[in-house]
Amino acid sequence: MKQLMLGNAAVARGLYEAGCCVISSYPGTPSTEITEEAAKYDEIYCEWAPNEKVAMETAFGACLAGKRSFCAMKHVGLNVAADPLFTMSYTGVNAGMVVGVADDAGMHSSQNEQDSRHHAIAAKVPMLEPSDSAEALEFTKLAYELSEQFDTPVLLKMCTRVAHSQSLVETSGRMEPAVKPYEKDIAKYVMMPGNAIRRHPFVEERTRRLQAWAETASINRVEMSKAEKGDTTVGVITSSTSYQYVKEVFGDAVSILKLGMTNPLPVKLIQDFACKVEKLVVVEELDPVIENHCKALGLAVSGKDFLPVEGEFSQNLIAKKMGEEVYEGRAIDDPIPPRPPVMCAGCPHRGLFYTLSKNKCTVLGDIGCYTLGAVAPLAAMDMTLCMGASISAVHGFNKALGAEAEGKTVAVIGDSTFMHSGMTGLANIAYNQSNSTVIILDNSITGMTGHQQNPTTGYNIKGDPAGKIDLEALCKAMGFTRVRVVDPYDLKACDTVLKEELAVEEPSVIISRRPCALLKYVKHSAPLKVDVVKCVGCRSCMRIGCPAISIREGKAHVDATLCVGCGVCEQLCGVKAFQSTGKEG
């Protein structure tokens, strides 16, 4: 059956059709929907793991047991999972195992721009790169065949455009792969030095065999120009979404070598293609991986001399850089006002960040919706690095400066991020004893990536009841005697607790607890309205940066369609101008 499908849904379909049985992933844009879509197939066990390393190791355990398995993550997640990946390259697999990794050129939703092909090269594992949804499905199935044929985990690299665009796919039924019973094999699976040293030559030999496969594989295909003159002036080597841009700009006016497997890269196929064209150009997003391979083969090639290393490509960028006509599109008469990201109206993080801002705290932050605490007018964040870094960094900051920093420096971290990689940082504070205050922003969900459950929420990926980790008990078990819980809608309580915990000379944890205002089960209070007679236009309520509040004709105004009646603004108003409309939202 033919149907339109999102790239990530097509990967999920490929997993289903390939007979994948176990999926363990950690959310991260643009990879999240693969696992969410896969969870809709009853035949596949799916779960959210606390982080990518756990997810990958879980998938490894399942493949070891003899079932086809999968894990998905965003590019930075592969850094977290790099440790198991590099050694799984040595052990190889039992049943097939595929790792989905989604890069985010253009940083639509990421803290850096990173090219995952480097991980494939460094870990010496094959990487397939689909360029549309049909290939996403087809390559997922192929990845399992390669995994089992070559005894290796296989990386399936998505990117934002392929993951989040829809195109036609042809679906078929689910296959049930032959059972691969688990057999004890210490030399293969126990990677202590004496065994690992014998597996390394296997890895190198496997790369040579995979490279030989790449020379003739149909997913690496040459499309010679069909232009009238049979124009072979320009030959483009490309892959992934860049292939689509080149096709859209040039049609079949240039010759193309489209690579579906970007690690290992073929040699003879590229050399033969280079011989057929006058000018060789590599069009690839982010780093010059294919280009450097061509250069190492001694080929004259251009690419990053005129194409950017940073940012996402587009049809227009390729057209502009390669001297073709640029489609300008329709001019928009009215300029669109810039809309910087802000915390939602009623976001429970707002009250806490207001308190931190008011107390002039140095805030070592983390990654999640709460990173928006860095945005004006709250501007209450000093650092964001990677998931979990807030807690480790506050420890280092306080160790470095001692009393100069203690008492005004805090770490803030979300519930999902705490489970991901905050706990080990907290263990370091408990163990090496810095006088640090850690604030866990518990909104009972992984908000940033679109409401995934996590080990603190009490529900699993299907929304069914699951184990629930008790944050207070966990922190106490780690040795923290001072563990406080506050409601971030209550500004006075937040202020009191923060001041008290900063004042004591021992490590402490504050749990700022209130569910995300966008969760289905959260009941909103009636929206507020402003009594314009009472309002003096002092703008105190504007200090919290709530998108529901604006100034109209010098007075505060509440947009009732946005307001959830959280009442934080009301607590800042010195003249009691805010009143409930009484109409429950």
Distances (CA, A) of 359 to 414, 511, 543: 20, 18, 14
CB 565 within 8 A of CB 524: yes
CA dihedral 442, 443, 447, 451 (to 10 degrees): 120
CB 160 within 8 A of CB 105: yes
CB of 564 to ligand TPP, least distance (A): 16
Check the CA dihedral 406-412-415-418 and report its sign.
negative
Distance CA 505, CA 503 (A): 7
Distances (CA, A) of 474 to 76, 96, 345, 442, 487: 27, 36, 31, 14, 19
Distance CA 234, CA 273 (A): 11
Among 11, 21, 62, 80, which residue sits at the site for ligand TPP (rule: CB under 6 A)? 80
CB of 229 to ligand TPP, least distance (A): 49
CB 580 within 8 A of CB 565: yes
Residue nearest to ligand TPP (CB): 414
387 in contact with ligand TPP (CB under 6 A): yes
Residue closer to ligand TPP, measured from CB, 30 or 235: 30
CB of 446 to ligand TPP, least distance (A): 4
CB of 388 to ligand TPP, least distance (A): 8
Q: Which residue has the tokens 């296997």?
A: 202
346 in contact with ligand TPP (CB under 6 A): no
Residue closer to ligand TPP, measured from CB, 242 or 384: 384
446 in contact with ligand TPP (CB under 6 A): yes
Task: State which amino acid sits at residue 38.
Answer: A
Phi, psi (rounded to 5 degrees) for 439: -110, 120
CB of 367 to ligand TPP, least distance (A): 4
Among 369, 440, 491, 509, which residue sits at the site for ligand TPP (rule: CB under 6 A)? 369
76 in contact with ligand TPP (CB under 6 A): yes
Residue closer to ligand TPP, measured from CB, 323 or 340: 340
Distance CA 277, CA 232 (A): 5
What lies within 8 Å, CB to CB, of 485 at 6+ separation is 472, 510, 511, 513
384 exposed, middle or buried (CB, 10 Å; 0-12, 13-18, 19+)?
buried
384 in contact with ligand TPP (CB under 6 A): no
CB of 361 to ligand TPP, least distance (A): 18
Interacting residues with ligand TPP between 127 and 186 (CB under 6 A): none
Kindly indicate which of the ranges 55-63, 426-434, 439-447, 468-476 contains the residues binding ligand TPP, using the contact rule CB under 6 A. Answer: 439-447
Residue closer to ligand TPP, measured from CB, 116 or 435: 116
Residue closer to ligand TPP, measured from CB, 13 or 420: 420
CB of 420 to ligand TPP, least distance (A): 7
Q: Tokens standing for 266? A: 């073929």
Site mask, ligand TPP, residues 404-423, x = CB under 6 A?
----------xxxx------
CB of 476 to ligand TPP, least distance (A): 21
Furthest CA-CA distance within the chain: 82
Distance CA 548, CA 530 (A): 12
Residues in the chain: 585
Residue closer to ligand TPP, measured from CB, 51 or 242: 51
CB of 88 to ligand TPP, least distance (A): 18
Interacting residues with ligand TPP between 95 and 124 (CB under 6 A): 111
Kindly indicate which of the ranges 268-276, 437-445, 461-469, 564-572 contains the residues binding ligand TPP, using the contact rule CB under 6 A. Answer: 437-445
CB 468 within 8 A of CB 431: no
Closest by CA to 531, choosing from 555, 565, 561, 553, is: 555
CB of 120 to ligand TPP, least distance (A): 18
Kindly indicate which of the ranges 74-82, 124-132, 211-219, 233-241 contains the residues binding ligand TPP, using the contact rule CB under 6 A. Answer: 74-82
Closest by CA to 8, choosing from 40, 43, 32, is: 32
CB of 29 to ligand TPP, least distance (A): 6
27 in contact with ligand TPP (CB under 6 A): yes
Q: Using CB under 6 A as the criterion, which residues of the chain lie in contact with ligand TPP when the complex forms?
A: 26-28, 74, 76-77, 80, 111, 367-370, 387, 414-417, 441, 443, 445-449
